[in-house]
């Protein structure tokens, strides 16, 4: 019943193509987004971690959002990342995204000085006061190093525009009890990220999966999510097994670095992540190529 | 013999006063710096973590540096923090600091996407190529979540302008062996931060201590460092014991939040950290006031 929400099904997170000075290439971005619209992903996650939001200025983030809205034209809900170190900056970004025509917001509690639970709460509250767009809490301790308590998630769920949470994979690998608890206590749409956990998360009944691979090569992950939604566990496992070598490269090299190579391998162009992040070296590239070849060959 | 280097003795890290929009108040900053010059600290660490560098724009960081150079007038070496997520931004900041008249640089490998050792190396190398100022590696996993291997520190020590490292307190509390190893392998000036470890670090022979309290109330920590330099362990322990209740509040509330209250208590003004960081609440304030009263009373 909630499947038309931007926080259900497969949310695809593309890279944001940019030059070495951090200027976004809106033409290449449109090419990436067009592929996602044609594949009929359930939502697009623009300017997520994979979309290097943390490395782009407010102005470039606005340019990227405006270009995305123009390209997508309402075909797929557009979720825009508005995380920032400063609360006022996150508010500006939320207003910019809404003004540009985004459908929803995604925000991580980015921090330098480690935040208290109350500081994170008030940071989110301030952003929900700046924009009426539905917001997904981006719980990503691997990049933010902030840990949400269940109590904080419950408290945040009472803010009227907060509708969803994007969780990290559970450390014990057990999804069902976590999903049940979060659903009961928060009423939020429950999604996960960390592509190698997609099969387990969707089979356990997660509402959404926020996928890095889906942002560049949506076919196989969309097939996996649809199989999970249809209750076809065998097909989910088959696709996941096919992707396992690629998941291994995500874990070994970081999925962001791998995506830049995949964008090259599918013929979009040779792009580089923002320095200090470096492109993969020859040996790592070989491993990714070996992992991806069967997928590209199978279409 | 190296005591005139900016990376020896007590380095004092003040807050950077700024309004709610992140505009630096250069008048209040000058008041804070004047106190440090009068106290004769060995160096000033402008725009460190306590100086909220991560929350200020390039323009405001330049304004703060220019105001500091003007106020300090060469009386005390001025170390300026130039950390940034992007390598090009860190290079811009290093050039800005040098142009403004800073004496040295301090840089943490700030990251969003976790960095590899090689990415951090090339990030530092790029910044050393942008400015000839001596640079201190800011090894602060509590805020950056980047862990330097010993091999990386050794490799960085070969870059000609890298002269010092600011280490976190050793997890096992044993300084002497770490200092000996780092000194032998890197030849860098070895300093520490985390004020509650100052007594142990200086008694173990660290070259420098990078102090948060010293940036606002330099008297007692300068006395402690001088006592350690004179080999007077009893006096070091006496001062450290007097400061222990304050160290407890640093650990409980984060030293940054405590400093904003201390700046108020010493009569400089009522300032707030950048949102999302919040001022201390009443109960926490009481604990800090109780811990600091004996110090303020004793001058």
Average pLDDT over residues A178-187: 98
Site of tokens 């976190």: B168
Span A172-182, average pLDDT:
96
What residues have CB less than 8 Å from B297, skipping those under 6 apart?
none
pLDDT at A1: 35
Residue predicted with more confidence, A1 or B128: B128
Among the ranges given (A137-146, A218-227, B64-73, B259-268), the one the predictor scored with the smallest mean pLDDT: A137-146
Q: Once rounded to an integer, what is the mean pLDDT over residues B86-110?
A: 98
pLDDT at A298: 62
Residues of A in contact with B120 (CB under 8 A): 276
Q: Do B275 and A111 touch (CB under 8 A)?
A: no
Task: Determine contact: A58 vs chain B, CB below 8 A.
Answer: no
Minimum-distance CB partner of B254 among A49, A110, A114: A114
Catalytic residue among B53, B121, B166, B192: B166
Separation in Å, CA of A233 to nearest CA in chain B: 33
- pLDDT score at B145: 87
Mean per-residue pLDDT for A87-96?
98
Measure in Å the smallest separation between the Cα of A123 and chain B Cα atoms.
Answer: 5
Nearest to residue B138, comparing CAs of B88, B187, B188?
Answer: B188
pTM (2 d.p.): 0.96
Confidence of residue B48 (pLDDT cuts 50, 70, 90): very high
**What's residue A54's pLDDT?**
97
Q: How far is CA A213 from the centre of its chain?
A: 10
| Range with lowest mean pLDDT among A106-115, B1-10, B14-23, B260-269 | B1-10
pLDDT above 50 (res A215)? yes
Using the beta-carbon criterion (under 8 Å), do B276 and A21 form an inter-chain contact? no
| B166 pLDDT more than 60 | yes
Taking CA atoms, B34 is separated from A176, B25, B98, B105, in Å, by: 59, 14, 21, 20
Q: Find out whether B266 and B32 touch, Cβ atoms under 8 Å.
A: no
Residue A115, chain B, CB below 8 Å: the answer is yes
Does residue A3 have a pLDDT over 60? Answer: no
- Quick one: pLDDT band at residue B142, thresholds 50, 70, 90? confident
Q: Is A138 part of the annotated catalytic residue set?
A: yes
- How far, in Å, CA of B216 to CA of B202, rounded? 20
In this predicted structure, the answer to whether residue A297 has a pLDDT above a threshold of 80 is no
* Nearest-neighbour CA in chain A from B145: distance (Å): 8
Q: Which residues contact B56 (CB under 8 A, 6 or more apart)?
A: B16, B18, B22, B24, B47, B64
Judge: A88–B21 Cβ closer than 8 Å, yes or no.
yes
For A143, which residue in chain B has the nearest alpha carbon? B112
For residue B298, what pLDDT is reported?
62
Confidence band, pLDDT 50/70/90 cuts, at residue B297: confident
The verdict on a CB contact (< 8 Å) between B112 and A54 is: yes
Separation CA B35–CA B47 (nearest Å): 17
B4 — pLDDT class (breaks 50, 70, 90):
low
Tell me the C-alpha distance between A2 and A210, whole Å: 17
Is any Cβ of chain A less than 8 angstroms from the Cβ of B251?
no
Taking chain B, what is the end-to-end CA distance rounded to the nearest angstrom? 32
DSSP-derived secondary structure letter, A24: B
Asked about B40 being catalytic, the answer comes back as: no
Q: What is the Cα–Cα distance from B207 to B164, expressed in whole angstroms? A: 9
B293 or A84, which is more confident: A84
Element (H, E) at A292: helix A282-297
| A35's tokens | 């592929």
Please check the confidence at residue B114 and state whether its pLDDT lies above 60. yes
3-class secondary structure, A189: strand
Task: Name the active-site residue from A124, A166, A210, A260.
Answer: A166
At A55, list the tokens. 């490395």
pLDDT beyond 50 at B1 = no
Q: Is there a contact between A55 and B21 if contact means CB atoms under 8 Å apart? A: no
Share above pLDDT 70 across residues of chain A, in percent, rounded to a whole number: 98
ipTM over 0.90: yes
Query: What average pLDDT is seen over chain A?
Result: 96
CA distance B297 to chain A (A): 30
Residue B276 is nearest to which of A55, A120, A145, comparing CB atoms?
A: A120
d(CA B251, CA B197): 11
Residue of A nearest to B110 (CA): A112
Rounded average pLDDT over A98-106: 98
pLDDT band at B294 (very low <50, low <70, confident <90, very high): confident
Is residue B299 over pLDDT 90?
A: no
- Reported as half-sphere exposure (CB side, CA atoms, 13 A), residue B281 has a value of 5
Residue A168 pLDDT more than 80?
yes
Q: Domains (ranges, CATH) in chain B?
A: 9-230 (3.20.20.70)
A21-46: average pLDDT: 98
How many CA atoms within 13 Å lie on the side-chain side of A75? 14
Specify whether the CB–CB gap between A169 and A195 falls below 8 A: no
The token pair at B31 is 């008041």
Average pLDDT, chain B: 96
Q: Do B143 and A114 make contact, defined as CB atoms within 8 angstroms?
A: yes
pLDDT of residue B3: 46
Structure tokens at B70: 């003007």
Segment A125-151 shows an average pLDDT of 95
Enumerate residues 6+ apart whose C-beta is below 8 A from A284: A249, A252, A253, A257
Distance (Å, whole) CA A268 – CA A27: 11
Q: How many CB atoms lie within 10 A of CB A285?
A: 18
Q: Which residues in A lie closer than 8 A to residue B124 (C-beta atoms)?
A: none
């Amino acid at each position: 019943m909630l499947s038309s929400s931007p926080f259900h099904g497969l949310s695809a997170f593309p890279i944001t193509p940019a030059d070495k000075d951090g200027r976004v290439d809106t033409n290449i971005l449109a090419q990436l987004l067009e592929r996602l619209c044609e594949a009929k992903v359930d939502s697009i996650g623009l300017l997520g971690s994979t979309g290097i939001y943390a490395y782009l200025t407010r102005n470039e983030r606005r340019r990227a959002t405006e270009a995305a809205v123009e390209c997508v034209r309402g075909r797929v809900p557009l979720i825009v990342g508005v995380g920032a170190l400063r609360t006022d900056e996150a508010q500006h970004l939320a207003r910019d995204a809404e003004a540009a025509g985004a459908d929803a917001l995604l925000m991580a509690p980015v921090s330098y000085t480690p935040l208290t639970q109350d500081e994170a709460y008030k940071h989110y509250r301030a952003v929900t006061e700046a924009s009426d767009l539905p917001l997904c809490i981006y719980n990503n301790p691997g990049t933010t190093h902030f840990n949400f308590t269940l109590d904080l998630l419950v408290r945040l769920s009472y803010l009227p525009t907060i509708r969803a949470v994007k969780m990290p994979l559970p450390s014990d690998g057990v999804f069902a009890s976590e999903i049940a608890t979060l659903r009961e206590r928060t009423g939020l749409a429950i999604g996960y990220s960390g592509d190698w956990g997609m099969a387990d998360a969707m089979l356990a009944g997660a509402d959404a999966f926020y996928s890095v691979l889906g942002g560049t090569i949506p076919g196989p992950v969309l097939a996996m999510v649809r199989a999970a939604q249809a209750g076809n566990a065998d097909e989910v496992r088959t696709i996941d097994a096919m992707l396992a070598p690629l998941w291994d490269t995500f874990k070994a090299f970081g999925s962001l670095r791998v995506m830049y190579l995949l964008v090259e391998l599918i013929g979009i162009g040779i792009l580089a992540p923002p320095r200090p992040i470096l492109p993969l070296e020859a040996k790592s590239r070989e491993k990714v190529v070996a992992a991806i070849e069967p997928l590209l060959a199978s279409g």
